[in-house]
Amino acid sequence: MGRRAASIDEIQYVFCGAWGSAAPAMSMLPKSIHASTNSAAPLAGGQPIEATTLTLPVMQQQYQLVRNPERSFTLKLTDAPVRRPGPNEVLVKVHSASLNRRDIMIVQQKGTTSQRDNFVPLSDGAGEVVEIGSGTTRVHVGDRVAAIFHQNWLSGRRSPIDGMLSQYATLSEQGLVTLPSHLSFDEGATLPCAAVTAWNGLDVYHRVQRGDYVLLLGTGGVSIFGLQFAVAAGAKAIVISSSDTKLQRAKELGAVGTINYHTFPEWDKKVRALTGDIGAHHVLEIGGHDTLPHSLASLAMGGHVALIGGLSGFSGEIPVMALLGLTGSASGFNVGSRADFEAMNSFIEKYRLKPIVDHVFDFTEAQSAYDYMESDKHVGKVIIRIAGRDPGSPSI
Ligand SMILES: NC(=O)c1ccc[n+]([C@@H]2O[C@H](COP(=O)([O-])OP(=O)(O)OC[C@H]3O[C@@H](n4cnc5c(N)ncnc54)[C@H](OP(=O)(O)O)[C@@H]3O)[C@@H](O)[C@H]2O)c1
């Protein structure tokens, strides 16, 4: 398997990232090779490409993260060769990529560390297969695919790999899943990290019962997917947010209860009141240090806290009595496997769920996408559109 989501694996997970806006930027599309041999031609499976066989571009534009004097990273648009697929690899023309909070953390080097320079950011992206290497059987030219977050989940080996903020990505055939048929590329690009994490954190098929209370913290990528999955599964979702406007959006998406955590810093008491003192059966814990005590205090008898994020710090205590007395549980999640992604896609297809795309930025506006994501104005996902218009998605 090849791989993709950039990696900072040194960073512990892979990455995700950027948003783009609508315009296709055709002028930026790579140029196809026209005729004679080009000494700058990329390698095909490690071998020089014969120019006469090329129908695909040899060069492309992509963003890379370049280390700056402050030891964080700066986003840089650059020309790069298109690597032709080797055995069991495929070349994906990337149409859209999406940002996750970790992409901001990677740029800022907060909570993550990486020795690697000049890598392509953003774990999440979707596109179409335009070429397959020898022996490839899982996908075909023309397939609409998304890259899985942990490209090396199957082999158990982890190594840094480039991400999706690039016009083309050469990936292992094992590292792809087919997009749900009703989703656009923009929507498909939202799925690999936040959606799969929310899916696994809730364990919709095995853990969530119709009528359960599900508590979602904030209105970002993970939590909004959690809200959509909970509602589709017949559970009762409660959302907390810093913004009444965002809470109104959560209600429109099916939340039965909403709490402004600025107005009610001890929001766990509100959760208990809203649930008739039952508490939440499931919590997607994305806040970490500051929110964990409140999440535990919100828990129902036999409830489960999915430990996912650390927006206020990746630390915190779980007092034994907090779980013991409730016969509750807490467990950690690191996105999920390809099988998890495929199970989630079946659910999305069954319920015709549409990811919530807040904003679509153009490929040339990647830095603006990062800035917007960092501003916390979004509800759901922020997209960077790389190729063409995507009529299925809202634009700016
Ligand atoms: N373990 C994993 O595999 C995994 C996978 C994906 C993400 N994560 C982690 O999960 C977290 C969220 O990621 P994301 O991509 O969904 O981020 P995101 O889209 O940026 O959403 C973050 C949202 O969290 C809310 N928030 C911030 N501080 C809060 C607080 N103190 N209490 C409650 N809500 C708060 C805000 O919502 P409002 O504006 O509505 O207040 C904010 O918009 C990050 O820490 C990320 O690293 C982990």
Q: Which pLDDT belongs to residue 385?
A: 97
* Unique residue bearing structure tokens 């806290």: 305
DSSP-assigned beta bridge partners for residue 94: 127
Instruction: Let me know if residue 65 belongs to a domain.
Output: yes
Residue 240 and residue 150 share a domain: no
Q: Which two tokens stand for residue 385?
A: 């559109």
Same domain? 169 vs 72: yes
Based on the fold, state whether residues 140 and 230 are members of the same structural domain.
no
Predicted pLDDT of residue 72:
86
pLDDT for res 110: 75
Task: Say if residues 83 and 47 touch (Cβ distance below 8 Å).
Answer: no
Q: Which two tokens stand for residue 300?
A: 């129902």
182 CA to centre of ligand 1 in angstroms: 27
Q: What is the CA radius of gyration of the chain?
A: 21
Q: Give the CATH number of the domain where residue 30 resides.
A: 3.90.180.10
Per-residue pLDDT reduced to its tens digit, 76-117: 999 999 999 999 999 999 999 999 999 999 898 876 656 578
Position with higher pLDDT, 172 vs 150:
172
Let me know whether 220 and 171 are in one domain.
Answer: no
Pocket probe mutation, ligand 1, options 112, 260, 311, max atoms within 8 Å of Cβ: 311
Residue 135 included in any domain: yes
CB of 240 closer than 6 A to ligand 1? yes
Residue 307 Cβ contacting ligand 1 at under 6 Å: no
Section 340-355 average pLDDT:
97
**Claim to verify: residue 138 and residue 259 sit in the same structural domain:** no
Q: Quick check: 331 pLDDT over 80?
A: yes
Q: What pLDDT shows up at residue 98?
A: 97
Same domain, 108 and 35: yes
Residue 2 has pLDDT above 70, yes or no: no
Q: Is the CB of 219 under 6 A from ligand 1?
A: yes
112, 286, 305, best to mutate for ligand 1 pocket (most atoms within 8 Å of CB): 286
**Residue 148 within a domain:** yes
Q: How far is CA 156 from CA 200, 239, 335, in A?
A: 19, 36, 15
Ligand 1 atom with minimal separation from the 333 CA? 1
- Whether 13 is covered by a domain: the verdict is no
Does the Cβ of 263 fall within 6 Å of ligand 1?
A: no
Q: Which atom of ligand 1 is nearest to the CA of 335?
A: 3
Range of the domain at 159: 26-193+355-385
% of the chain at pLDDT higher than 70: 81
Residues 312, 338 contacting (CB under 8 angstroms)? no
Global pTM? 0.85
Q: Would 200 be classed as within a structural domain?
A: no
Q: Is the CB of 221 under 6 A from ligand 1?
A: yes
Query: How many Cβ atoms from other residues are within 10 Å of residue 317's Cβ?
Result: 10
Number of folded domains that form the chain: 2
pLDDT exceeds cutoff 90 at 170? yes
Q: In the chain, what is the straight-line distance between the N-terminal and C-terminal CA atoms, in Å?
A: 36
Residues 172 and 221 in one domain: no
Among 325, 113, 96, 71, CA closest to 188: 96
Q: Domain check: are 184 and 238 in the same one?
A: no
Q: Which amino acid is at 60?
A: Q
Mean pLDDT score of the chain, rounded to an integer?
84
Residue 43, pLDDT > 50, answer no
Is the pLDDT at 217 greater than 50? The verdict is yes
Q: Which residue, 164, 135, 140, 134, is CA-closest to 151?
A: 164
Q: Span 338-356, mean pLDDT?
A: 97
Q: Verify that 161 and 222 share a domain, yes or no.
A: no
Q: Does the structure show a pLDDT above 70 at 20?
A: no
Please check whether residue 359 is in contact with residue 186, taking contact to mean a CB–CB distance below 8 angstroms: no
Q: How many angstroms separate the alpha carbon of residue 308 from the centre of ligand 1? A: 9
What percent of the chain clears pLDDT 90, i.e. is strictly above it? 71
The pLDDT value given to residue 389: 60
> 177 and 67 share a domain?
yes
- pLDDT, residue 112, reads 62
Is there a single domain that holds both residue 37 and residue 178?
yes
The vertex-220 CA angle with 219 and 225, nearest 5°, equals: 85
Q: Which protein residue has the closest C-alpha to ligand 1 atom 37?
A: 218
Q: Does the C-beta of 243 come closer than 6 Å to ligand 1?
A: yes
Ligand 1 neighbour 241 (Cβ under 6 A) = yes
10 or 217, higher pLDDT: 217
CA 330 to ligand 1 center in whole angstroms: 18
Give residue 131's pLDDT: 96
77's CB contacts (< 8 A; 6+ apart) are 61, 62, 63, 364, 366
Residue 394 lies in a domain: no
- Given a cut of 60, whether residue 18 has pLDDT beyond it is no
Confidence band (pLDDT; 50, 70, 90) for 314? confident
Question: With 90 as the cut, is the pLDDT of residue 207 above it?
Answer: no
**Tokens, residue 343:** 């199970």
Mark whether 172 and 216 lie in a shared domain: no
* Protein residue with least CA distance to atom 44, ligand 1: 309
**DSSP 8-state symbol, 67:** E
Whether pLDDT at 50 is above 60:
no
CATH label of the domain that carries residue 274: 3.40.50.720
Residue 324 CB: number of other CB atoms within 10 A? 9
Q: Does the structure show a pLDDT above 80 at 5?
A: no
Residue 288: pLDDT band by 50, 70, 90 thresholds?
A: very high
**Token pair for residue 233?**
């599964």
Answer whether residue 317 is part of any domain.
yes
Is residue 238 within 8 A of residue 256, CB to CB? The reply is yes
